[in-house]
Amino acid sequence: MLKGVTRAGIGQAGSIESFIQAAAEHGFEAVAAEGKELEQWIADKGFAGAQAFLKEHGVQIGTIGLSVQWRTTEEEFRSGLARLAQDAEAAAALGCTACCTYVLPSTDYSAAHFMALATRRLRTCAQILAPYGIRLGLEFVGPHHLRTRWRNPFIWGLAETLDWIDAIGENNVGLLFDSYHWYTNELGVDDILQLDPSRIVLVHINDAPAVPVEDVLDNDRLFPGEGVIDLAGFLGALNRIGYRGVIAQEILTPQPLTEPSSVLLKRSQEAFRRVYAAAGLE
Amino acid sequence: MLKGVTRAGIGQAGSIESFIQAAAEHGFEAVAAEGKELEQWIADKGFAGAQAFLKEHGVQIGTIGLSVQWRTTEEEFRSGLARLAQDAEAAAALGCTACCTYVLPSTDYSAAHFMALATRRLRTCAQILAPYGIRLGLEFVGPHHLRTRWRNPFIWGLAETLDWIDAIGENNVGLLFDSYHWYTNELGVDDILQLDPSRIVLVHINDAPAVPVEDVLDNDRLFPGEGVIDLAGFLGALNRIGYRGVIAQEILTPQPLTEPSSVLLKRSQEAFRRVYAAAGLE
Amino acid sequence: MLKGVTRAGIGQAGSIESFIQAAAEHGFEAVAAEGKELEQWIADKGFAGAQAFLKEHGVQIGTIGLSVQWRTTEEEFRSGLARLAQDAEAAAALGCTACCTYVLPSTDYSAAHFMALATRRLRTCAQILAPYGIRLGLEFVGPHHLRTRWRNPFIWGLAETLDWIDAIGENNVGLLFDSYHWYTNELGVDDILQLDPSRIVLVHINDAPAVPVEDVLDNDRLFPGEGVIDLAGFLGALNRIGYRGVIAQEILTPQPLTEPSSVLLKRSQEAFRRVYAAAGLE
Amino acid sequence: MLKGVTRAGIGQAGSIESFIQAAAEHGFEAVAAEGKELEQWIADKGFAGAQAFLKEHGVQIGTIGLSVQWRTTEEEFRSGLARLAQDAEAAAALGCTACCTYVLPSTDYSAAHFMALATRRLRTCAQILAPYGIRLGLEFVGPHHLRTRWRNPFIWGLAETLDWIDAIGENNVGLLFDSYHWYTNELGVDDILQLDPSRIVLVHINDAPAVPVEDVLDNDRLFPGEGVIDLAGFLGALNRIGYRGVIAQEILTPQPLTEPSSVLLKRSQEAFRRVYAAAGLE
């Protein structure tokens, strides 16, 4: 399972090339990026140049974010589709095979109606990504405070999200499986052991403070191994079911972290060493 | 638009043949039936015999009901699928091209999760019906008391149901458009005029008592023209947009009506004459 | 049925605005355009400006062409998808709801394998067009010489194309129905009368010389009414089944026509008057 | 990879229970069956009884055959769909997750048109099987004589079949991968090594005589290890890519084999031992 890093938790990582280079220097094999920044990089450096840079540093583009706004109006949604095709084109050119989005656990819209609209919109996104060989990963979001942040409960659990993926009905839709949401859903190793690894598009890793689980805040995460999530169990189970994709660190914080990126990357590298070792993975 | 009748409101109509015959005698051109009763009829009479009987009486099978239980567990749902294929086979053999189901406006399940499950299940039903040339009609249910009958609001309106049909994503899914639910959703003639008639699989007609609309009960319906629904507007608008399918009477009552079926059919025949005339349709 | 004109047969029609203006001056209500030229026009004039120009001249954009290369390699196909999304965005902004492509009746590829590839590729195109409210029209091509122009017969008839549309399986795919191909397939008025008009995305009109039908060349067409195709029957039948879309003139010629566009447009206007009158349509 | 056996090559294996028992006695862990015979068995023995019998003997139902006639007319196709649902219900009740069909490499129909029809029909079959958790396996058929047995070439190779599966477009369609067709397509170990094992629904094993590959007849197969196919390479590669499903023996012969089933099963058992050993699998 490849060690990856997102920009969340590593401060100002700079240009895509600085980010890739720094990630590589700290033992990471994958980074998350935005479609637009990849498109710009290809425009500046050419396909071959960008591909060579990645190869040279031993880094993959683990995923891009879903840039389309699918949570509000039809007009907003439609206006983002041409951009999505361009994102996909850039991502695919650099060997990226994932595009992910998060699912807020509550909504001010009617829950059932919004589910119908979102199902169709995410199906359209999956259909645009498919010819580029890109899979769409949906991230269920577990922290309890967000379940009541908006008026109506939507979905926040593993089983519900798998059922939603079936409703969307496209071959290339799966999970973005984040340890924070596994933890705040009070799931266990058995829940992972029952998963078909082909259902997982990407994994996020992070840690949670020692507070009651219902008080854990979505944007107050810790570095892997610095908190109470059973990351050894999490990683061990993912490895056991045969998941061989990217484990990408995502640390959301109330304020952007101020330490230099190199310091935060070193801390991330240590964090990964710690939890991989605890999981018997190195 | 063909005049049709369901068994709801016409008392004990007897066997499928008595029902068809009586319907024909009272000016009706279509009846609603159940797949199983059609299958039995074909077994008794043969395809040719049953087809000839319908032709002789100038009656079509307007629709069958969706016999699959899609509202509860996965096991219950799956156990009904082979039956659905048999229903479809019998219905198609007799020229029936519609299969309808109602959508309760609230649910004890999580609304978003149930929407995802129901989307997939109804897609499967549509896919089984499609090779038989049968369309699946979804009926939104408007009476206000049912919106809070179960714990969580689901969907009950026209726009939401059209969005749900798009989420289900199969070509052969449309609306069962019932005047009672048009009325209790406080929709108007304009809402019908904006509809693409190809989205309507079947129409139900009935009337409502002169009580505040939020107090109208789902199972306390009147014969067309005996209540306050603007059926002239309803029928006129459907005709204007080019709907040429069946208008089937469905009168749900608290207790089964006790008058002889012939009396109730005569009343239905009069009711249709009344409202068709008011709509300028005869 | 709206009178429309493509650039094929009217010489050098100039910019999109010259084309629209000239079309309007000659009684046409629709023009065909390319997505890229619409995108450029919107960039130059703004959405509102372009929409206003169309409205002012009483002209619609009847269709754009499918700019994606779906007939060759997977790489060529993929490289055109982002462009397709942009074409669709521009077209939809100007109220255009159709995007059409022609189907060559023979291929150097294995016919069955190419059918499988083309089915998937056209499905992807339809899926990209769908959120923009645009339908994909497939034009079967009848001239006999093209059936053996390449090594293996593909498809060229109405029934086969309808079956192919079902195989593609998306709601928004239909026919581009061209009189030349109706004629060279030796179809009749009855074949049109049996069509569901909702299956027709666009109609092309033109005429054929008085030579044996098997000798009719695809690129040697005449103006409507100047040849032997029963265009009165063609138009009358389309009108009778309820087709209310665009009838767009497409005259393919061996050499580009040299007369001034105004002369050719006048001839087109006369041609339409002639055949519409013969069909009892004006 | 589980050792399995079909009735082809083991003479008269008797009732489903005799077949299962004899298979178990000879080291097999899976058998192929027909949906109708499973339905009858369940009717006779009950679900629990049949499930217990399978468990007791350590045998799975590896696959059922696709009983629908999809190769001829639309009427024939439709008439088999209710049966398919019942087959699926019986198979699923006994834990069977595969339903397979063969693809003849030539056809008297127009190849492209037949591909379109077959795509839609097999999609319908896959959609009926899906709710039962059953995958549809398509077997490409390689022997050269069958490529010209009917008028028009259809498809017979691995790549074409994978493209066809994409055209069918349902999640639950994959390959029935048969060594005889791998051999007569002159494919190698590398072709297997590039496969995603999740694309393989079932594997058939058998052997071919030492004649030029273009002269190998489809119905003249040998027991594994008695011929010239590189079954060690075949099995080794399947194992290496992570295929963990059933390897089912299928020996088609010009005349039914006359030896007692026990003799033929012993020969099959030896054949498996031989080739599994050669592949380093035991």
ipTM: 0.95
CB atoms under 10 Å from CB of C39, counted, come to 18
The confidence score (pLDDT) of residue A138 equals: 98
Contacts of C127 in chain D (CB under 8 A): none
Rounded to whole angstroms, the Cα distance separating C142 from C103 reads 10
Rounded to whole angstroms, the Cα distance separating C88 from C42 reads 13
The confidence score (pLDDT) of residue D25 equals: 98
Among the listed residues A151, A154, A243, A142, the one whose alpha carbon sits nearest the alpha carbon of residue A192:
A243
Beta strands A173-178 and D106-107, pairing class: unpaired
CA atoms within 13 A of residue D165's CA, in its CB half-sphere: 24
Condensed to tens digits (0 to 9), the pLDDT of residues D168-208 reads 999 999 999 999 999 999 999 999 999 999 999 999 999 99
The phi and psi torsions of C51 (rounded to 5 degrees) equal: -60, -40
Residue A282 has pLDDT above 90, yes or no: no
Residue of D nearest to B123 (CA): D127
Between chains, do D116 and C152 touch, taking CB under 8 Å as contact? Answer: no
Between chains, do D163 and C120 touch, taking CB under 8 Å as contact? Answer: yes
Per DSSP, the residues of D78-105 read HHTHHHHHHHHHHHHHTT--EEEEEE-S
Residue to substitute from C77, C86, C120, interface A, most A β-carbons within 10 A: C86
Instruction: Give the burial string for A176-205 (b: 16+ CB within 10 Å, else e).
Output: bbbbbbbbbbebebeebeebeeebbbbbbb
Rounded to whole angstroms, the Cα distance separating A15 from A268 reads 19
Largest CA distance in chain D: 50
Q: Nearest-CA distance from B124 to chain A in Å? A: 10
The span from the first CA to the last CA of chain B, in angstroms, equals 11
B4 in helix, strand or coil? Answer: strand
Token couple for D32: 């192929």
> Cα–Cα distances in Å, from B75 out to B70, B138, D93, D161?
10, 22, 11, 34
What amino acid occupies position C196?
D
A127 touches chain C (CB under 8 A): yes
Contacts of D85 in chain B (CB under 8 A): 81-82, 84-86, 128
Instruction: Give the burial string for C113-136 (b: 16+ CB within 10 Å, else e).
Output: bbbbbbbbbbbbbbbbbbbbebbb
Between chains, do D77 and B131 touch, taking CB under 8 Å as contact? Answer: yes
Rounded to whole angstroms, the Cα distance separating D184 from A41 reads 47
Chain mean position to CA B36: 17
Contacts of D168 in chain B (CB under 8 A): none
Condensed to tens digits (0 to 9), the pLDDT of residues A174-233 reads 999 999 999 999 999 999 999 999 999 999 999 999 999 999 999 999 999 999 999 999
Residue to substitute from D117, D123, D124, D163, interface C, most C β-carbons within 10 A: D163
Q: Nearest-CA distance from A120 to chain B in Å? A: 5
**CB under 8 A, 24+ apart: contacts of A145-151:** A145/A215, A145/A217, A145/A218, A146/A104, A146/A105, A146/A106, A146/A218, A147/A105, A147/A106, A148/A106, A149/A104, A149/A105, A149/A106, A150/A104, A150/A106, A150/A107, A150/A108, A151/A106, A151/A107, A151/A108
Condensed to tens digits (0 to 9), the pLDDT of residues B160-173 reads 999 999 999 999 99
- Give CA torsion, residues D45, D46, D47, D50, to 10 deg: -10
Contact call for residues C181 and C225 (beta carbons, < 8 A):
no
Contacts of B120 in chain A (CB under 8 A): 163, 166-167, 169
Residue B274 has pLDDT above 90, yes or no: yes
> Cα–Cα distances in Å, from C133 out to A78, A87, A100, C110, C161?
10, 22, 26, 33, 22
What amino acid occupies position B65?
G
C190 touches chain D (CB under 8 A): no
- Using a 10 angstrom Cβ sphere, with 0-12 exposed, 13-18 middle and 19 or more buried, the burial of residue B256 is exposed
Contacts of B113 in chain A (CB under 8 A): 155, 160, 163-164
Residue of C nearest to D124 (CA): C167
Mean pLDDT value across chain B: 97
Mean pLDDT value across chain A: 97
Query: Where would I find the beta strands (DSSP E) of D89-195?
Result: 98-103, 106-107, 135-140, 152-153, 173-178
Rounded to whole angstroms, the Cα distance separating D11 from D208 reads 19
The span from the first CA to the last CA of chain A, in angstroms, equals 11
Token couple for D227: 């011929």
- Assign residue A222 a region (left: φ > 0; alpha: ψ between -120 and 50; beta: otherwise): beta
Residues in chain D: 282
Axis crossing angle, helix C158-168 with helix D111-129, rounded to the nearest 10: 30
Between chains, do B89 and D77 touch, taking CB under 8 Å as contact? Answer: no
**pLDDT above 70 coverage of chain B, percent:** 100
Rounded to whole angstroms, the Cα distance separating B32 from B6 reads 5
The enclosing H or E element of B64 equals strand B60-65
Residue to substitute from C89, C125, C129, interface A, most A β-carbons within 10 A: C89
Confidence of residue C282 (pLDDT cuts 50, 70, 90): confident
Beta strands C200-205 and C173-178, pairing class: parallel
Please state the rounded mean pLDDT for residues A5-20.
Answer: 97
Beta strands D152-153 and D200-205, pairing class: unpaired
Q: Answer with the residue of higher pLDDT: A282 or B39.
A: B39
Please state the rounded mean pLDDT for residues A154-168.
Answer: 98
Residue D23 has pLDDT above 90, yes or no: yes
Range of the domain at D15: 2-278
Among the listed residues C170, C127, D171, the one whose alpha carbon sits nearest the alpha carbon of residue A172:
D171
The phi and psi torsions of A195 (rounded to 5 degrees) equal: -80, 145
Residue to substitute from C38, C127, C171, interface A, most A β-carbons within 10 A: C127
Please state the rounded mean pLDDT for residues A67-84.
Answer: 96
- Give CA torsion, residues A155, A159, A165, A168, to 10 deg: -60
Contacts of C123 in chain D (CB under 8 A): 167, 169
Between chains, do C89 and A82 touch, taking CB under 8 Å as contact? Answer: yes
C127 touches chain A (CB under 8 A): yes
* Bridge partners, residue C64, by sequence: C33, C99
Residue to substitute from B69, B76, B86, interface D, most D β-carbons within 10 A: B86
Closest CB to C124: pick one of A78, A79, A131.
Answer: A131
The confidence score (pLDDT) of residue D139 equals: 98
Residue A160 has pLDDT above 90, yes or no: yes
Return the ∠ at Cα B19 (arms to B13 and B24), rounded to 5°: 130
A132 touches chain C (CB under 8 A): yes
Residue to substitute from A70, A74, A106, A115, interface B, most B β-carbons within 10 A: A115
B116 touches chain A (CB under 8 A): yes
Residue of B nearest to A106 (CA): B112
Per DSSP, the residues of D18-78 read HHHHHHHHTT--EEEE-HHHHHHHHHHHHHHHHHHHHHHHT-EEEEEE--S--SS-HHHHH
Q: Nearest-CA distance from C152 to chain D in Å? A: 9
Closest CB to B167: pick one of A110, A111, A119.
Answer: A119
Closest CB to B110: pick one of A114, A117, A153.
Answer: A153
Condensed to tens digits (0 to 9), the pLDDT of residues A201-212 reads 999 999 999 999
* Bridge partners, residue D140, by sequence: D103
C115 touches chain D (CB under 8 A): yes
Chains within contact range of chain C (3+ C-beta pairs < 8 Å): A, D
Token couple for D105: 């490499």
**pLDDT above 90 coverage of chain B, percent:** 99
Contact call for residues D170 and D126 (beta carbons, < 8 A):
yes
Condensed to tens digits (0 to 9), the pLDDT of residues C185-234 reads 999 999 999 999 999 999 999 999 999 999 999 999 999 999 999 999 99
Rounded to whole angstroms, the Cα distance separating B221 from B207 reads 6
Residue of D nearest to B121 (CA): D131
**pLDDT above 90 coverage of chain A, percent:** 99
The confidence score (pLDDT) of residue C72 equals: 97
A124 touches chain C (CB under 8 A): yes
A111 touches chain B (CB under 8 A): yes
The enclosing H or E element of A50 equals helix A35-57
CB atoms under 10 Å from CB of A40, counted, come to 14
Q: Nearest-CA distance from A87 to chain C in Å? A: 9
Q: Write the CB contacts of B39 (distance below 8 Å, at least 6 apart in sequence).
A: B86, B87, B89, B90
B125 touches chain D (CB under 8 A): no
Chains within contact range of chain A (3+ C-beta pairs < 8 Å): B, C
- Assign residue D46 a region (left: φ > 0; alpha: ψ between -120 and 50; beta: otherwise): left
Contacts of A120 in chain B (CB under 8 A): 163, 166-167, 169
Residue C88 has pLDDT above 90, yes or no: yes
Q: Write the CB contacts of C257 (distance below 8 Å, at least 6 apart in sequence).
A: C9, C10, C11, C251, C264
Rounded to whole angstroms, the Cα distance separating C69 from B6 reads 52
Q: Which residue has the tokens 């009476």?
A: B143
What amino acid occupies position D139?
E
Between chains, do C111 and D116 touch, taking CB under 8 Å as contact? Answer: no
Residue B282 has pLDDT above 90, yes or no: no
Contacts of C136 in chain A (CB under 8 A): none
Mean pLDDT value across chain D: 97
Q: Nearest-CA distance from D116 to chain C in Å? A: 5
A263 touches chain B (CB under 8 A): no
Please state the rounded mean pLDDT for residues D26-49.
Answer: 97
What is the tally of structural domains in chain C?
A: 1
Token couple for D213: 């590959």
Residue D282 has pLDDT above 90, yes or no: no
Contacts of A164 in chain B (CB under 8 A): 113, 116
Q: Which residue has the tokens 């009368």?
A: C193
The confidence score (pLDDT) of residue D32 equals: 98
Between chains, do D85 and B89 touch, taking CB under 8 Å as contact? Answer: no
CB atoms under 10 Å from CB of C142, counted, come to 23
Please state the rounded mean pLDDT for residues B91-105.
Answer: 98
What CATH number did the domain enclosing A39 receive? 3.20.20.150
Contacts of A84 in chain C (CB under 8 A): 85
Among the listed residues D225, D271, D268, D232, the one whose alpha carbon sits nearest the alpha carbon of residue D7:
D268
The phi and psi torsions of D192 (rounded to 5 degrees) equal: -75, -40
Closest CB to D117: pick one of C153, C154, C163.
Answer: C163
- Using a 10 angstrom Cβ sphere, with 0-12 exposed, 13-18 middle and 19 or more buried, the burial of residue D108 is exposed
Condensed to tens digits (0 to 9), the pLDDT of residues D54-106 reads 999 999 999 999 999 999 999 999 999 999 999 999 999 999 999 999 999 99
CB pairs under 8 A between A and B: 80
D88 touches chain B (CB under 8 A): yes
Contacts of B87 in chain D (CB under 8 A): none
